[in-house]
Every structure is written in structure tokens, then in C-alpha cells.
Structure 1
Amino acid sequence: MQATSNSNLFQTSYSEALGAYRSRKAILTSGIPTSSASPSPSSSSAAERYGFPIHLNPQFTSALLSNPEDLAVEASGADGGRYRALSLRVQHGFLWSSEAGGLVRQLDLESGRTINLYKGAKGPVPSFDFLTTTAGEKLLVAGSWDKALRIYRISNTTRKEAGEAVVTVEGAMSDFIKAVHVFIEGDKVYLTTGGSDKCVMLWDLKPLTTLSSTAEGIEGERLKRIYQSKQHTRPVNALTSIQGLDGTTRLYSADSMGRVLEHVIDPTSLRLEVVKEIQGFSTAVYDLKAGWRRLVVEGESSDKGENKGDAFVSEVKEDADGSRYKLIAEIWGASGDKTALGFRLSPMLQSASRTAATAKSKPVGSNAILGREERISTPHTKLLHKDFVKSILPIPFYLPTTPSLPQFEPFEEALITGGSDEQVRLYPHPTSPPSANSEEEEVYEVEGHWHEITSLACWIRHPNLSFPTAPTSEAVLPPAKEVQVWILSASLDGTIRRWNLLSIPTLPKPEFKPVLQEDRTVKFDWDQDSLPPVTKRNLMREDVVVGTGNAFQMTPEEEAELAELMESDHE
């Protein structure tokens, strides 16, 4: 991805300082014992503190041990190059990451070892998903900046042919593909894609679900493009879905202007119809998660008809121990407006303030509110951050609803966020309803990544006593004696970190202090433990000395696009 080493480029004082900061943090948080990492904790404690790091770049360890000083020069380039992790999933007992180098990586969750590489994309792969054929075979669907969709057979053994696409659909969209999502509606399986062309595309996956396990592939034309929705006016960044209690699946899409739309498929025309709009974000939404939360309802009536007709609230259920609860459907989003918002999807659970808000005059033109139903504009929970929020993980979506696990009761409402300030945040009890003091929310912060966090995932780890009691490397996890919940984080630094949820509150506070937007002033004092100041973008792109007030910054997306163009120029 990087055509030129940063050591051959002119370095401003800012980039030199940035490189020093990132290299020192990369060394300290690597989990690898080195003479440069001071103080030097034990290998096992360092690995746990910094998330049992998996380094996707196979040369990272040798480079760190042989000449760590060079990292200061290269780190000014800001990221992990072609090993930048863009998205993360736990599926079929494996860890999956998609990367800027044009591949999807399959890893062993316990050891961090790479099992397979699914290659072929000619650009970064920001999103992927899975489906299962009628014969039970598992397939991987990946979308790339090269505008193509690729489908792979999943293999649990390391074989060269396993990484080759069985289906390639060139020109699946007219611009970068940024989001891929598979969902079921009725007895049919659909694929949706979204991207820089501002469209949401709907595909019929029947040719894939009926694919023979012996077939070498099918023609891309047989992947039928059913419908193209053009309701968004900005690039589509995220897609997710949830099946309501009425059996209907709702699809949610979010764009770089902060607009979130709820769609359903018309059973007759197979068109995507906008049902309602979810408002609350003032700029780009980078991540969406929809799911069901268990809500304890001690003392409430168990009348079977009290929630009749509500597709987003279940009837009162009862555990074997007598505890009573409902299931509530929610959607959460992470945004560049430095907020994480959670919305309850049931119209019956919307507050009176939402009703008052909808009574106001609606915008017209391109900002007109879409959908045949009333918008949702009041979040149930709002968490303020000091920098961009790029990924979000509501823990209740992943905990088993029954039986409940006592050790996780303190985290039944927990939320995890990650973003541009490089830190993983755990909110055990997010404020509800939102308050002006939500920045002072109870929160645990852990450090490990030395660049922006791009994706978060949850792993329910089951007891496994077959591993050695002492890990054989920094990436191997200690054995599990009971069910555990692990948080996985991916970053532009080219690493994946694994955090035991129960351990996060006990980990030391971050040592490094990234300088945030409001602190980036000329008089700010910074050192090797803090990120040097960055001033506003200068459109003339002049050189800058720290404190002169004319720095130029590119977004991670712009950096990735520039790297792609540079690489193509050298081919």
C-alpha cells in the first residue's frame, strides 16, 4: 500500500513528533518484551494489559526487536499499511478481519494464528458477511473499493485454493463498496451493498444458496440485482438489520451525512421501501448495530396481550429462577459528531419529547424526512466523546437471554466504543435518559492500539482446558475455565486486540494522552507520551512547523485512496 518509505520523505517537526509518539506507543503496547519498552512488565502481564495483541504484519516482531528506532520514522506514516484492519467479525468459531491489502483473513481465536487468506480484491476490503447454502456449506461475501463483490468457500484448513473466489461480480456498484450485509426475509436470503455511489443495492442470493459443493463457480450475472435504492444523498457507510416479532426484517442504512433509514422489502415488487428515518446524528455514521436487549420487569403484569402488535417489544418472559423480563429491540450508532446514540425501535417506547419534535414543520428538498411512519428523533441513550466514534458494541445484544450468567450481571447494560483517540471504552451503565453530564459517565478506558480503532466484535468464549497453562507466545490466550466474554478490537495500526470483559475494569489507566481537538492550541505542551497538536486543514497544503497554525490533515479514507493511487502508478 505504501509505495515510498517515510525515511526517504521530508519530515516536518510535526510528523517527526507524531512518529516518535506512535513508535513509542507501538513498542510499549506490542506485548513483546524489548529493551526499549520501559518499564518492562512480564510478558504475560504486558500481553493482558495491551489486549493480547495479534500483529497482522508478520515482520512487525522482527522489526521491533532488531531496530525499534526505525519505527519512529515509519510511524509518521500513521498506520499499518496494507495490514490496516478495516472490519472485524467472530463467526463459525473463527476471528475474521478485512484489510487494506485487499484480503479477508481467517484467524484462530485462541492463538491468533492465520488459518486462511481470502484474496483477489484490487483495493481495500472494508466489509464482508457470511451465508450458508442449502447443503450446509459456508460462504464468505466480500466487497471492495475495486467495486467488485467476491464470494469464497470457507475452509478451516490452510489450502492455497481456499483463498480463491468462486464468484466475482465486477462492477457490482459504480463506486467504492463500503458496506456488505446478508439478511433473511421470509424464506429468502438477500444481500445488500452500500457505498460511495450513495446507493443501497439489493441482491437475490438464491444462486449462491443452491450452489453445489462440487461446483467450481457460477457466472456473476446469475447474482440477480433486484433493486437499487437512491434515497441517500451521501455515501453509505453502514448496513445492518433486525427481524421483528412480526416476522418482518427491517434493514437499516447510514450515510456520511448522519442520515439513518429503515427499509422493508415490498413482497410484491421486491423494492426497498423507506419506512422511517432515525435522526440524531449531525454528521457521518460509521457503524450501526441492531439487536435485542433483555430488560428486567419485576412487578409488571404478564398480560399476554399488553404488547400485541408491537414488533419491537416481547411479552413478559420468565426464567427458571423466577426472574421476569422483556426483550426490547434497539439500534446503536457511532458517529463523527463524537457521539454514540442508542434508540429503542418500539413506537410505544418513544418519549413525549419525540412526539413534540415531530409536530414541528418538516424540512423540504433533499433534507425532507423520509418514510411513511413517524421518525425516531429522541435517543434512549446518548454518550458524548471527545473525538470521532468509529465503532460501537452493545454487550446485551451478545449475552444469552436465558439462562443468564451471574458473572456478567454487572455488564447487562454495558456498551463498548472505539474511535479516533485509539482507546477502547467500557461504559458499564450508560446514562439513560441522556444528560448534560454524560461526558462524566462511569467509564473504563484501556489503551493498546497506536492508531484509530476501526471495528469491535464480541466473542463468547467457552471453557477450553486443552491449552497449556502457560501461553507459548504473547498472542496465545490463557485457558478458560468457565464461559467468558471477550471484546475484540481492530485498528489502522495493523493489530487486533482481545480483552477479557471482566478484566477491563482492573487494567491500568492509559499512560499516553492523545491531544484532542479542543486541546490543539499553539500553547499546548506535548512530549513523547502525548500526541502533538494538529491545527485545522490548510487548503494550500503548505509545509508546517508545529505551532504555526497551518497544518494539513487527510482523513483515513483519503490516505487509503492516495496510497492506492500511488501503488497503481508504480505498477
Structure 2
Amino acid sequence: MSNKPDKSSFLRAESELVLDLARQGKEKKVAGLGSPIKLKGQALDMFVRGNSLWVAENTGFVLVIDLITNETVSTYRCHQAPLTTLAFVDRVPGSGDEKIMITGSWDKTIKVWDTETKELLSTTQAHSDFVKALLVLPKCNLLVSAGSDKVLRLWDLSNVTEKDPLVSVGSISAHSRPVEMLDGITLSGDSAVLYSADTMGVMNVWLLERDAVAQPADGLPPRWRTTLRENLTHHRTRINQLVLHDGYIWTASADETVKIHPYSSGGQGDEKKRPIKPIQHPTGVKALLPLYIPSLDETYLFTASGDIIRSWDTSDLDDKVEQRNEIDGHWHDVTLLKAWFASPDPYILSASLDGTIRRWKVKDLLTPKPPGERSDLEGNTPAHRRAPGELTEEEERELDELLNEDD
């Protein structure tokens, strides 16, 4: 599967042609930046485990990449359709071994894999449309899945290593748009708080409780009750990322903002803390990563908007959030950000629609540029910052040739 833009259409808008030309030029400029790992497809989800990166591709594969060598050391042919999400759970509960992998796909199924033998343990027909997100709540032996069918489903994981489909223990049908983001906190082995966000910008907060009263049929696990605690409409449109970190809900949206809202230990909004002023971006924000840096004893925020990765000082949320720096290292939109705590320097891993995964030292992302230094690679105004219709001489020449090549 090619990562190149499709140029087969006969009629294309001039603005689209200009954007393609800018990307073609930028592809050469950034070719070696960030020690790129080139994929056959595009990364739709990533999970860092030690020095290994597990990548869910739109090709249906999971790749295991050694981050020391950049080599792919293992592959799983998981689905015949794009693989959108993956999660891990312990083979031995509470051990932290995370030897069981769970994958979700456009094929509407959830599959469970043994990562030691690479054996497919089970396939579950999970949703009536694409599976878009998975969340494991290990202390509760619970898996939550979300889909384009607007439904949340709860699955029992107490017998996850058995070769039977997962058992449904509850569902929620309260969203009016596809649900693509999940996060949660465990309160006990019998209760948790779940956050679900949809493509309309709505985020719901749910209390999940194991039903200890109702007696299930023989051999079946108890059902889970769900109670809506809050309905949050912080964003105008699609929520692309949802992260719970350090007592705050961090959300990135297509409405060009990142919002940070406090929540209490019980999961609801914390009225003792005031919301933080939205962090504005020039385009929609597709990914965010709040990250505590032990060596600095501070938390910083990293965001991806368009093909730019930005770093923000969030050490004093009661005052204001200030931008520290930005990296212009991809030639297409950045869609995922993950942390890799390598020794001696931590890294940020970024995945993009350009079909690469790149790495950046955190200290470089946090180092502000000297006054007056431009953010692009060649000293020209970056294409994404020019006024509409404003081209470089080279772009004007290439566009003219392209538009007149059939004359």
C-alpha cells in the first residue's frame, strides 16, 4: 500500500495541487530527520513496551519494531482490514507480563493473541461497524470497546486465554456519533470510571459497577451496570485524543484546540480547580501527549497539528501554558505521539500519514529556538504558514508546468 498521494483524479482543485507540490518538495527535505522508520502502510495505533514498539497498521498487520536498531523483529497478520487499535493484558492477572494482545479492526472484530506463540486465541464479532478503540481495565478484568456504530461494549477478560469468543457483560448506546476515544480509571476491582469521546465533540463520563445482585446464568460472568455521571461538551467537533493525566482530562480536537480540565478522584469534574484556557493551534490537533519528565521534575505537553510537533510548558497550569518549541520533521500530518524512555535520553515517537515513524529527543523538543530563527529546514516560510495562494518561485513554476502540460 503506497503512502504517496493519489494523483489519478482528472480534475483537482488548484489548492490541492499546490499542497501536493509543497509536500513533494518537503518529503526530500525531511527524508533523514528523526531516524525515520518507513512503513508499508500507515500507523493507526502504537504501544511502547520497553525498547519495542508495537504498531497497528492500516494494512491489517501488527509490527514489532526494535527501537534500538529500527528493525522489524516480528509481524502479526491480524486482520484483512485496517487495524485501528491494540491493547495488552496480563496472561497471569496482576503480574504485569502483558503477554496477551488484543486487536480491533474495520472488519468489526476483536481478536486475542498470545504474543509468545503468536497464536490466535479467539475472534469475537464485536460491533456492527468499525472497531475504533479498546481500553483494558485490568483490575476489573474488563475490556471496553468503542465503534463507529456509536456503541460501547464491555467484555469479560477473566478467561481471556481460552479459545472462545469474549463474553459481553454490558453495553452503552448513548452517543449520537461514532465513538473513537476511550480512557478510564479503576476505583476498585468492582468499579471504574470510563470516559468516552465521539466525533461530535461530546465526552461522556460513566460509572461502571459490577452487578453483585443479579445472578447470571450458569458459567457466565456477572453483568456490569453503567451510570452516566457527566456529559461534557468542551469541543465544537471531533475529539481526536483523550488522555487522563495528573488529575486532568487532556483532549485534542479538530476544532484546533487542546483543552485541559480537572477531574476529581471519583472521575467527575473538580470544582476546586478552574479549567485551563484552551491552547489554540493553527489547524486541527490530531494527537497530544502530556508527559512527566523525571530528570526535570516537570510535566510538559506535546501536540501534533498538521505536520508540526509542538512542545508546551505546563508546569504552572494555574498561570498559563506557554509554547516552548516546535519541530517540522514530517511531510504529512502527524497522527500519533508516544513516549519512549530510552537511556539516557527520553524520546517522543511520532507517526504520520507520510508512512514514517520518527524519534525526537525530548530535550531537543523543549529547547526554544534563538530569536529570529525560522522553524523550517531551508530558511523559507513553511508551506503551511503561507498566505493562501502565496507560492515560492519554484512552486509557481512547477504548478504552471503541471497545469499546461497537456496544452
* 1:290 has 2:244 as partner: yes
Looking at structure 1, the residues matched to 63 and 395 of structure 2 have their Cα atoms a distance apart, in angstroms, of: 32
Q: Decide whether the 8 Å contact of 2:257 with 2:285 is kept in 1.
A: yes
Q: Which has the higher contact order (CA 8 A, sep 6+)?
A: 1
Structure 1 pair 485/500, CA: closer, same or farther in 2 (3 Å)? same
Q: Decide whether the 8 Å contact of 1:202 with 1:227 is kept in 2.
A: yes
Looking at structure 2, the residues matched to 264 and 4 of structure 1 have their Cα atoms a distance apart, in angstroms, of: 44
Give 1:190 shift. 0.8
Structure 1 match to 2:186: 243
Q: Kindly report which structure 2 residues correspond to 1:395-410, keeping only aligned pairs within 5 A, or say none.
A: 395-396=291-292, 399=293, 404-405=294-295, 408-409=296-297
Give 1:445 shift. 0.9
Structure 2 match to 1:232: 175
Give 1:456 shift. 0.8
Looking at structure 2, the residues matched to 166 and 180 of structure 1 have their Cα atoms a distance apart, in angstroms, of: 17
Structure 1 pair 225/25, CA: closer, same or farther in 2 (3 Å)? same
Looking at structure 1, the residues matched to 191 and 204 of structure 2 have their Cα atoms a distance apart, in angstroms, of: 16
Q: Kindly report which structure 2 residues correspond to 1:85-100, keeping only aligned pairs within 5 A, or say none.
A: 85-100=43-58
Q: Comparing both structures, which one devotes a greater share of its residues to strand?
A: 2
* Residues 399-419 of structure 1: per-residue CA shift (max 9 Å, x gap): 4xxxx53xx24xx13100013
Give 1:167 shift. 1.6
Which of 260, 283, 290 pairs up with 1:342?
Answer: 260
Secondary structure at the aligned position of 2:341 is classed as strand
Q: Decide whether the 8 Å contact of 2:205 with 2:229 is kept in 1.
A: yes
Looking at structure 2, the residues matched to 383 and 529 of structure 1 have their Cα atoms a distance apart, in angstroms, of: 35
* 1:152 has 2:113 as partner: yes
Q: Kindly report which structure 2 residues correspond to 1:133-212, keeping only aligned pairs within 5 A, or say none.
A: 133-134=91-92, 136=97, 138-155=99-116, 162=118, 165-169=120-124, 171-185=125-139, 188-208=140-160, 211=161
Give 1:131 shift. 0.5
Q: Comparing both structures, which one devotes a greater share of its residues to helix?
A: 1
Looking at structure 2, the residues matched to 528 and 253 of structure 1 have their Cα atoms a distance apart, in angstroms, of: 47
Structure 1 pair 234/5, CA: closer, same or farther in 2 (3 Å)? closer
Structure 1 pair 380/122, CA: closer, same or farther in 2 (3 Å)? same
Secondary structure at the aligned position of 1:515 is classed as helix
* Counterpart amino acid of residue 114 in structure 2: R
Structure 1 pair 198/22, CA: closer, same or farther in 2 (3 Å)? same
Identity of aligned residues (%): 28
Secondary structure at the aligned position of 1:413 is classed as strand
Q: Decide whether the 8 Å contact of 2:108 with 2:128 is kept in 1.
A: yes
Structure 1 pair 123/528, CA: closer, same or farther in 2 (3 Å)? farther
Give 1:506 shift. 6.0
Give 1:242 shift. 2.2
Q: Decide whether the 8 Å contact of 2:44 with 2:57 is kept in 1.
A: yes
Secondary structure at the aligned position of 2:332 is classed as coil
Secondary structure at the aligned position of 2:28 is classed as helix
Q: Decide whether the 8 Å contact of 2:3 with 2:355 is kept in 1.
A: no
Structure 1 match to 2:203: 260
Give 1:197 shift. 0.5
Q: Decide whether the 8 Å contact of 1:101 with 1:124 is kept in 2.
A: yes
Give 1:127 shift. 1.1
* 1:527 has 2:405 as partner: no
* Counterpart amino acid of residue 446 in structure 1: I
Secondary structure at the aligned position of 1:26 is classed as helix
Give 1:183 shift. 1.0
Structure 1 pair 93/271, CA: closer, same or farther in 2 (3 Å)? farther
Matched residue count = 374
Q: Decide whether the 8 Å contact of 2:45 with 2:336 is kept in 1.
A: yes
Give 1:248 shift. 4.8
Consecutive unaligned residues in structure 2, runs of 5 or more: 212-222, 397-402
Looking at structure 2, the residues matched to 434 and 386 of structure 1 have their Cα atoms a distance apart, in angstroms, of: 22
Looking at structure 2, the residues matched to 259 and 340 of structure 1 have their Cα atoms a distance apart, in angstroms, of: 14
* Counterpart amino acid of residue 139 in structure 1: I
TM-score normalised according to structure 1 size: 0.60
Kindly report the root-mean-square deviation, in angstroms, between the aligned alpha carbons of the 2 structures: 3.2
Give 1:488 shift. 0.8
Q: Highest Rg: 1 or 2? A: 1
Which of 474, 484, 502 pairs up with 2:363?
Answer: 502
Structure 1 pair 21/254, CA: closer, same or farther in 2 (3 Å)? same
Secondary structure at the aligned position of 1:101 is classed as coil
Looking at structure 1, the residues matched to 244 and 7 of structure 2 have their Cα atoms a distance apart, in angstroms, of: 44
Q: Decide whether the 8 Å contact of 2:201 with 2:235 is kept in 1.
A: yes
Structure 1 match to 2:248: 330
Secondary structure at the aligned position of 2:245 is classed as strand
Structure 2 match to 1:55: 38
Looking at structure 2, the residues matched to 252 and 21 of structure 1 have their Cα atoms a distance apart, in angstroms, of: 39
Secondary structure at the aligned position of 1:87 is classed as strand
Q: Decide whether the 8 Å contact of 1:514 with 1:530 is kept in 2.
A: no
Structure 2 match to 1:125: 83
Q: Decide whether the 8 Å contact of 2:137 with 2:186 is kept in 1.
A: no
Which of 301, 317, 341 pairs up with 1:432?
Answer: 317
Structure 1 match to 2:307: 422
Structure 1 pair 249/23, CA: closer, same or farther in 2 (3 Å)? same
Looking at structure 2, the residues matched to 5 and 453 of structure 1 have their Cα atoms a distance apart, in angstroms, of: 15
Looking at structure 2, the residues matched to 387 and 167 of structure 1 have their Cα atoms a distance apart, in angstroms, of: 41
Q: Decide whether the 8 Å contact of 1:383 with 1:434 is kept in 2.
A: no
Structure 1 pair 431/233, CA: closer, same or farther in 2 (3 Å)? farther
Consecutive unaligned residues in structure 1, runs of 5 or more: 32-49, 58-82, 156-160, 212-216, 293-328, 353-377, 463-481, 532-544, 546-571
* Residues 177-234 of structure 1: per-residue CA shift (max 9 Å, x gap): 111111134xx311111111001110001121xx2xxxxx6122xx101111011111
Structure 1 pair 117/348, CA: closer, same or farther in 2 (3 Å)? closer
Secondary structure at the aligned position of 1:415 is classed as strand
Structure 2 match to 1:23: 24
Q: Kindly report which structure 2 residues correspond to 1:38-117, keeping only aligned pairs within 5 A, or say none.
A: 50-57=33-40, 83-117=41-75
Q: Decide whether the 8 Å contact of 2:51 with 2:340 is kept in 1.
A: no
Give 1:142 shift. 0.8
Give 1:243 shift. 3.3
Looking at structure 1, the residues matched to 43 and 318 of structure 2 have their Cα atoms a distance apart, in angstroms, of: 34
Looking at structure 2, the residues matched to 93 and 278 of structure 1 have their Cα atoms a distance apart, in angstroms, of: 37
Looking at structure 2, the residues matched to 461 and 3 of structure 1 have their Cα atoms a distance apart, in angstroms, of: 29
